[in-house]
Amino acid sequence: MRVMVIVKANKETEAGVMPSTELLAAMGNYNEELVKAGIMLAGDGLHPSSKGKRVKFTKAQPKVTDGPFAETKELIAGFWMWKVKSMEQAVEWVKRCPMAEGDELEIRQVFEAEDFGEAFTPELRAQEERLLAEAQKLTRA
Amino acid sequence: MSETHHAIDAIWRIEQAKLIAGLTRFTRDIGQAEELAQEALLTALEQWPKSGIPEKPGAWLMAAAKNRAIDRIRKAKLAETKHAEIGRARDAEQEEALQELEAALDDPVGDDLLRLIFISCHPVLTSDARTALTLRLIGGLTTDEIARAYLQTEATVAQRIVRAKRTLADRKVPFELPRGAELMARRDSVIEVLYLIFNEGYSATNGEDWMRPQLCEEALRLSRILAGLMPGEAEVHGLVALMEIQASRLHARTGPDGEPILLLEQNRALWDQLLIRRGLAALAQAEALTSAPGRYGIQAAIAACHARAARAADTDWNRIAALYDLLAAREDSPVVELNRAVAHSMKSGPQTGLDLLDALLGEEALKAYYLLPSVRGDFLVKLGRHAEAETEFRRAAALTQNARERSLLLQRADACRQS
């Protein structure tokens, strides 16, 4: 199964404080372990929310708000995608992550196409296929 | 299972291969190393529910296994002291062995893991034994899981593994990475084993068992490990690329009733874009390392052509045909020739495909291969030669083992008769 490991934002990440060399090195080693375990699929850090936007859907036009956003705990500073055998295995890997005191990681299972079941009808699938085809044409152009 | 047991199970899956690899370096005996690792696991199962899981469970397990190993050496030594004539030399040797163990266990384990992979795929073993041993030691699958995946009895697989371990010990296969030409030969064996495992999961669309798609995942994971350990090997990246791209199609390859769906008819929205991106990245890495790709690199490049086409109609058949020419020049395989004919027919029309195919008709290896008449029938239909096509479809239907395939072929034969 695939899981997304979410790195929660904190005051430092929101202030755009870059990690120290030591932390970067430790993180590099950790990532290397993940790669050598063959479970890491992707991973990236995110810029602070001050550079982000939020789009709120209302009855009228969607409303766009510029960052930064409050509620630091609910913001995301980065993520990994892993392919693991079980949630327990994901937890064991997360425990090995070199994080500082107070940091928080969250593990969420990723939906696969079949998880959507009947609701993902052939028509919807066909539509997604068409959209994807167009999107890919754009990215290749 | 309690929560601790779930955790121990997860930790075991993460640590097992490294543990066995480290212990094999010391004991020079895979069987013994595995026993020591298992004993360490038993100790953990006994103690961790009471004491809690240690902060560094891997190091803990290694230390426990190490203590076991030292115990064994001491006992062996004790047994020998009871014999009258033990020399001082023997004593010194044991001391040395102990020190070597200490050093071995403190070393980084990456290389050990690579060595363990190379031993598990050693050419002195049969291909069956290689796949079983690799899944057992590197993949950490249980004998029961391997048996289920290969639709065999647990006893058969267990025996195969025991025999493999004995063969390695009897032949005194050293726990080291070969060099030069032998490294290449062995690397190819490793790649072949991983691809065999992958295909076992991939081609078995008929299997109801959950283990079979999981074999794909396992082979892919092991290949990623291999690429992490041998980053300079183009063909290893080619293998990873090929598997990532093929695995990206897993969900699109069968219909709701389990019927196989051919590549060009698949719903491409179901292709896993993350895996495709990873596959293309691995291919780029392989291509950066060599201008003369091997068989896996070429196959990955072909797979990539399909992955890059948003719709089947967008497929770059010129490039695929050229890649099959390249592959055919290397492989001398009738199955490759068959695929080459299909690629050329897509590029230049059915007559070109038919000409290439007809050159294969005398091929002994393809006599009983249903795809030859099936593909030939396909070309003939496109050329409007329906009567000949019908004969080919009926011949193909008689050759295939797969019931679903057979009914499809007979339907096509009937359609030819009516037109």
What would the DSSP string read from start to end of A81-122?
Answer: EEE-S-HHHHHHHHHTS---TT--EEEEEPPPGGGGGGGS-H
Say what the pLDDT of residue B408 is. Answer: 86
Cβ-proximal residues to B194 (8 Å cutoff; 6+ apart), any chain: B134, B219, B222, B223, B226, B239, B243
Interface test with chain B among A2, A92, A128, by most B beta carbons within 10 Å: A92
Q: Does residue B3 or residue B384 have the better pLDDT? A: B384
pLDDT at B207 over 60: no
Res A136: pLDDT: 53
Spatial separation of the C-alpha atoms in residues A5 and A99, rounded to whole Å? 13
Q: Is A92 in contact with B14 (Cβ distance < 8 A)? A: yes
Of the two residues B324 and A123, the one the predictor is more confident about is B324
Residues 30-89 of chain A with CB under 8 A from chain B are: 32, 35-39, 41-42, 81, 83, 85-86, 88-89
B169-196 per-position pLDDT tens digit: 999 888 888 888 888 889 999 999 999 9
- What mean pLDDT is predicted for residues B315-331? 95
Mean pLDDT of B115-137: 93
Residue-level pLDDT at A125:
63
Looking at beta carbons, which residues of chain A come within 8 Å of B222? Answer: 38
pLDDT of residue A140 exceeding 50: no
Closest-CA residue of chain B to A134: B310
As for the ipTM of the complex, it is 0.77
Please count the residue pairs, one from chain A and one from chain B, whose beta carbons lie less than 8 angstroms apart: 71
**Phi, psi (5° rounding) for residue A105?**
-115, 150
Q: How far is B203 from chain A (nearest CA, A)?
A: 20
Q: How confident is the model at residue A139 (pLDDT cuts 50, 70, 90)?
A: very low
Least CA distance to B311: which residue of chain A?
Answer: A133
CB atoms within 10 A of CB B386: 16
pLDDT at B148 > cutoff 80: yes
Q: In the predicted model, what is the mean pLDDT of residues A26-50? A: 91
Q: Which residues of B touch A113 (CB under 8 A)?
A: 251, 270
The reported pTM is: 0.83
If you average pLDDT over residues B395-399, what whole number do you get?
A: 92
Residues A20-36 have pLDDT tens digits of: 898 889 999 999 889 88
Q: Which pLDDT band holds residue B99 (cuts at 50, 70, 90)?
A: low
pLDDT at res. B112: 87
Taking an 8 Å cut-off on Cβ atoms, the answer to whether B228 and A36 are in contact is yes
Confidence at B239, pLDDT banded by 50, 70, 90: very high
